[in-house]
Amino acid sequence: MTPHMLTRSLDRGATIFLAIVAACGILIPLSNLLLPAGSFLQVPTYLVALWGKYVCYAILALSIDLIWGYCGILSLGHGAFFALGGYAMGMYLMRQIGTRGVYGNPILPDFMVFLNWQELPWYWYGFDMFWFAALMVLVVPGLLAFCFGWLAFRSRVTGVYLSIITQAMTYALLLAFFRNDFGFGGNNGLTDFKDILGFNVQAEGTRAALFALSCLALIIGFLICRAIVSSKLGKVLIAVRDAESRTRFLGYRVESYKLFVFTVSACMAGVAGALYVPQVGIINPSEFAPGNSIEAVIWVAVGGRGTLVGAALGAVVVNYAKTFFTSGVLAPYWLFMLGALFILVTLLLPRGIVGTFNAWRDSAREKRTAAAAASAAAEDGMVQPKMAE
Amino acid sequence: MPAHLSARLYSLALTLFLIAFALPALAGPFEDAVAKFANDDFSDTEEAIGVIAGSGNKLAFPIISALQDGRLMADPDSKKVYVTGADGKSIDAASGEAVASVPDSASAVRLNNRLRRSVDAAIGSLTLQSPDLGTRLQAAQSVFKSHEETALEAVDAALAKETNRSVKAALGEARAAILLFKPDASEVEKLEAVATLKARGDQDALALLTGMGDQPALVTKAAASAIASIQNSLAVWSMVQNAWYGLSLGSVLLLAAIGLAITFGVMGVINMAHGEMVMIGAYTTFVVQEVIRSSYPGLFDYSLLIAVPLAFLVAGAIGVLIERSIIRFLYGRPLETLLATWGLSLVLQQAVRTMFGPTNREVGNPSWMSGAFELGQITITYNRLWILLFTLAVFAILLAMLRYTALGLEMRAVTQNRRMAASMGIATSRVDALTFGLGSGIAGIAGVALSQIDNVSPNLGQSYIIDSFMVVVFGGVGNLWGTLVGAFTLGIANKFLEPVAGAVLGKIAILVLIILFIQKRPRGLFALKGRAVEA
């Protein structure tokens, strides 16, 4: 990524967005750690964890926007990549518990001891090393997305068919991870974590650092997405979204482009999941539920698909609303609101918040320039002002 | 004085006479046997059981079954024995007269394992000649299972009197089982027994044959061949059983998917709220049954017949409403339709949860849907059978409707070429609304049927939606026959994978297979050909 590419990819909205995320990433942890507890400006630790969760969701939304907004691939199974990344991190955290588990087994996690397993399954090897787990966070979702996408895109499974089979994929994984003999803790999942890289996951300092890291990951993810969509590759992606057959007839290998962006997106979702798990302290199979993936899609739709900033904004806004409503007396009505959000956004606000705002700004700007041109022309007294379209 | 004496003698004789008639066996072997229970001695008890079982007294069965349940109380002081009923009333075991209360000194007659076996055998032989056909059959089967030598006489006696064919067969099998285990039975008898068991050919017969121990060489040989033949036939029956389960699952899948095949296949609309239409149908059944229970209890057996048209109307009306208010604005934007209808499904679920509560609601089976019957070695429950027939009927009606009615013609025209159909004067938007209503209505009917075998809860629909989509995608969009074949293929494949891989892994395997299958045939098993595909 050259500096030239970076500057080209950043318009004003993107710059503002990055500035806000960076400011949050620095100021919130600092205020949490340095200011005295109870002070007006101090951010309580529970809020740091909560907002850290939102930031992870924002990364997930970004990854969905990359493929849906720019390439027209509606994945209803992105929660699966998110959860796989989370499980990879969870496995590392489980291995870090060591002898502090209930059964005190230095190697086997508690649930394996409970199931009377004698040794670690082969796929748990290496997860005691952070670098390996971090690699797997990228590799496992990426590999699954690559295989899945390779099969799907090559045989030109598109549109709703792709959506449905991605949903089937996450559903199959949900069923698999619920099984005890699958070796990932069954329906309890992985939890009761102690340390990450030697720091206590419950400690305020660790939480603040994780929050800052999540913000950093969001910034990096955003820059990668911007770089992709504003490059020549991005133009082809948009062409695929708008007219797939035509792009193919023009000589582009559509499936390669799709496969690339799908894999990148899955890796991003994996990172989001990996950051999510230490902050919420648990990962269980319900993260694979098809409903979660669809909910993530609606964040993007609310914020505005194909805008990147909108995806992140939508994730934060919808999840903030969810926290707000589900914790109060309005809790029974939250599903009504969420459902209505799905319907109203698709019917009335198809471009989402940011998309609608951009359209409004562009048309206002156009009017202004038209008016300026008209008044300039009128001053010159040469031609009649052009009628607005 | 003599007159006086003679009068007394007379009255004594009369009394004795009366007693002799009323209680024909006073102080006879039966009463003696009953009194033996009070001795608290296992060998006396065993003797008593044998005498009572063979006495033919009508009190024999209550006494022995009370003994089995620990309800037979014996008073060691007065040597009286009482049968206490489950309802707290007691009778004197020897006379059958009701007694006000059992003395405190009485305690339950004790049994040991050997006695328990003879009690079981006694009960078996006592009920072998019961006037009730079902009891006789059950008794014969219990003798078959226990194959106690002591029951042989009773079985032979019953066999001689028996006229019913199935009971006779059961008695014959019981006799064979006894003979097989009787050490002093002749070789011919044993060979006959093996042949009888081979003809029975089920798991129980197999267990008897494999566990019969040392036998003459000829018998062992015959038994080995019988075992092999039974195992073969059992394997075939288990295939048949799996196939039946598969058909049953397939019919459920077809029922859930058939409405989807209309909305998705014919209109190209992804309706994620389809499962909720099924749920609405199930709740309609619940409401109908509630009304019937509270107001017209006699109509309960007809509740499903009433619920079917109502569910069709309710779900269909909601479907038309959805099409008019949401879907029609989203034609040509399938991904947005998917999201909007998902939102709708959340709203509908929550609405039902608010109205009926989050827990499962009780939907009963009418009498004609409960129970089961045996077909060879497999059991077929009536509700599964009815659902299979019902599904096929719905399918046939739908097919006929598409083929022979004006609306069906219009629907096919709109599917094949919307603009051409519009040019021909078909009101396409009206057809769209009706088609969507039809698909939803059929989902509602599916809900009536599924309420019989599944929990009626707000989440009912969600559990079917992915499966239904799989069926439609697998079978091919826009083709009802594809849906039929898809549903039954997936159902049967699932049930044949289950014993091999387990229920969950089987399901995962099916999902993976479908995902791979779509790579090969992206448009499903029976794809529409021609330009319609790219539309």
The per-residue pLDDT for range B426-461, each reduced to its tens digit, is 998 899 899 999 999 999 999 998 888 888 998 888
C-alpha–C-alpha distance, residues B273 and B440, integer Å: 9
Q: What is the pLDDT of residue A9?
A: 57
Mutation for testing the A interface, residue in B269, B350, B464 having most A CBs under 10 Å: B350
B132: confidence class by pLDDT, cuts 50, 70, 90: confident
Residue B401, strand partner residues: none
B335 and A167: CB-CB below 8 Å?
A: no
Looking up tokens 């009197």, which residue turns up? B161
- Tell me, what amino acid is at B372? A
Residue B7, pLDDT > 70, answer: no
Q: What is the pLDDT of residue B25?
A: 44
> For residue A207, which of A47, A58, A48 has the smallest C-alpha distance?
A48
Comparing A129 with B162, which gets the higher pLDDT?
A129
| Local structure of A198: helix, strand or coil | coil
Residue B80, strand partner residues: B75
| Average pLDDT over every residue of B190-208 | 80
- Tell me which of A206-215, A300-309, B24-33 is least confident: B24-33
Residue A267: half-sphere exposure toward Cβ, Cα within 13 Å: 19
CB of A48 less than 8 A from some CB of B: no
Which tokens go with B174?
A: 């019981």
CB of B234 less than 8 A from some CB of A: no
| Average pLDDT over every residue of B493-511 | 84
Q: Give the number of A-B residue pairs with CB atoms closer than 8 Å.
A: 120
Q: What is the pLDDT of residue A299?
A: 93
The torsion angles phi and psi of A199, rounded to 5 degrees, stand at -100, 145
Residues 325-384, chain A, touching B (beta carbon < 8 A): 332-333, 335-336, 338-343, 345-347, 350
A1: confidence class by pLDDT, cuts 50, 70, 90: very low
Distance (Å) from the C-alpha of residue A144 to the closest C-alpha of chain B?
13
> For residue B370, which of B385, B350, B348 has the smallest C-alpha distance?
B385
B511 and A161: CB-CB below 8 Å?
A: no
CB of B469 less than 8 A from some CB of A: yes
The torsion angles phi and psi of B458, rounded to 5 degrees, stand at -60, -20
Per the CB < 8 A criterion, the answer to whether A284 and A273 are in contact is no
A262: confidence class by pLDDT, cuts 50, 70, 90: very high
pLDDT (tens digit per residue) in A289-339: 998 999 999 999 999 999 999 999 999 999 999 998 888 788 888 889 899
B469 and A172: CB-CB below 8 Å?
A: no
C-alpha dist (Å) from residue B438 to B405, B434, B448, B477: 13, 6, 16, 17
Q: What is the pLDDT of residue B14?
A: 55
Residue B535, pLDDT > 60, answer: no
Mutation for testing the A interface, residue in B507, B518, B525, B531 having most A CBs under 10 Å: B518
- Tell me which of B320-324, B350-354, B508-512 is least confident: B508-512
Q: What is the pLDDT of residue B3?
A: 53
B11: confidence class by pLDDT, cuts 50, 70, 90: low
Mutation for testing the A interface, residue in B323, B354, B477, B511 having most A CBs under 10 Å: B511
Residue A236, pLDDT > 50, answer: yes
C-alpha–C-alpha distance, residues A255 and A233, integer Å: 13
Which range, A291-300, B126-135, B200-209, B260-269, is most confident? A291-300
Q: What is the pLDDT of residue B534?
A: 45
| Average pLDDT over every residue of B183-205 | 80
CB of B224 less than 8 A from some CB of A: no
**b/e map B145-178, b = 16+ CB within 10 Å:** ebbbebbbebbeebbeebeeeebebbbbbbbbbb
Q: What is the pLDDT of residue B24?
A: 45
A343 and B340: CB-CB below 8 Å?
A: yes
B339 and A346: CB-CB below 8 Å?
A: yes
Q: What is the pLDDT of residue B16?
A: 52
CB of A150 less than 8 A from some CB of B: no
Mutation for testing the B interface, residue in A158, A160, A288, A292 having most B CBs under 10 Å: A160
C-alpha–C-alpha distance, residues A317 and A303, integer Å: 8
Per the CB < 8 A criterion, the answer to whether A310 and A70 are in contact is no
Average pLDDT taken over every residue of chain A: 89
Q: What is the pLDDT of residue A7?
A: 58
A342 and B346: CB-CB below 8 Å?
A: yes
C-alpha–C-alpha distance, residues B239 and B251, integer Å: 18
A169 and B511: CB-CB below 8 Å?
A: yes
pLDDT (tens digit per residue) in A97-121: 888 888 888 888 888 888 888 888 9
- Tell me which of B9-18, B133-142, B378-387 is least confident: B9-18
CB contacts, 8 Å: B342 with chain A: 294, 342
CB of B24 less than 8 A from some CB of A: no
Residue in B340, B344, B519 closest to A151 by CB:
B519
| Average pLDDT over every residue of A41-54 | 89
Distance (Å) from the C-alpha of residue A364 to the closest C-alpha of chain B?
27
| Secondary structure letter of residue A184 according to DSSP | S
Distance (Å) from the C-alpha of residue A73 to the closest C-alpha of chain B?
10
Q: What is the pLDDT of residue A212?
A: 94
- Interacting residues of A298 by C-beta distance below 8 A, sequence separation 6+: A314, A318, A338, A341, A342, A345, B339, B343
CB of B533 less than 8 A from some CB of A: no
- Tell me which of A346-355, B52-61, B230-239, B483-492 is least confident: B52-61
B335 and A338: CB-CB below 8 Å?
A: no
Nearest residue of B to residue A157 by CA position? B522
Which tokens go with A384?
A: 């009649």
A343 and B347: CB-CB below 8 Å?
A: yes
| Alpha-carbon torsion (A49, A51, A57, A58), positive or negative | negative
CB of B368 less than 8 A from some CB of A: no
B522 and A157: CB-CB below 8 Å?
A: yes
Long-range pairs for A173-177 at CB < 8 Å and ≥24 separation?
Answer: A173/A80, A173/A83, A173/A84, A173/A288, A174/A285, A174/A286, A174/A288, A174/A289, A174/A290, A175/B504, A175/B507, A175/B508, A176/B504, A176/B505, A176/B508, A177/A83, A177/A87, A177/A285, A177/A288
Burial class from Cβ neighbours inside 10 Å (0-12, 13-18, 19+) for residue A194 reads middle
| Average pLDDT over every residue of B37-56 | 79
Comparing A386 with B61, which gets the higher pLDDT?
B61
A340 and B473: CB-CB below 8 Å?
A: no
Q: What is the pLDDT of residue A6?
A: 56
| Local structure of B313: helix, strand or coil | helix
- Tell me which of A133-137, A162-166, B115-119, B530-534 is least confident: B530-534
Looking up tokens 């990854």, which residue turns up? A63
C-alpha dist (Å) from residue B120 to A339, B65, B148, B201, B333: 63, 9, 9, 25, 72
C-alpha–C-alpha distance, residues B369 and B448, integer Å: 13
DSSP strand E in chain A: where? Answer: 190-191, 195-196, 199-200, 282-283
pLDDT (tens digit per residue) in B348-376: 999 999 999 888 888 888 888 888 888 77
Average pLDDT taken over every residue of chain B: 82
pLDDT (tens digit per residue) in B216-242: 778 888 888 888 888 888 888 888 888
Distance (Å) from the C-alpha of residue B524 to the closest C-alpha of chain A?
10
C-alpha–C-alpha distance, residues A261 and A224, integer Å: 11
| Secondary structure letter of residue A388 according to DSSP | P
Residues 69-128, chain A, touching B (beta carbon < 8 A): 74, 76
Residue B303, pLDDT > 60, answer: yes
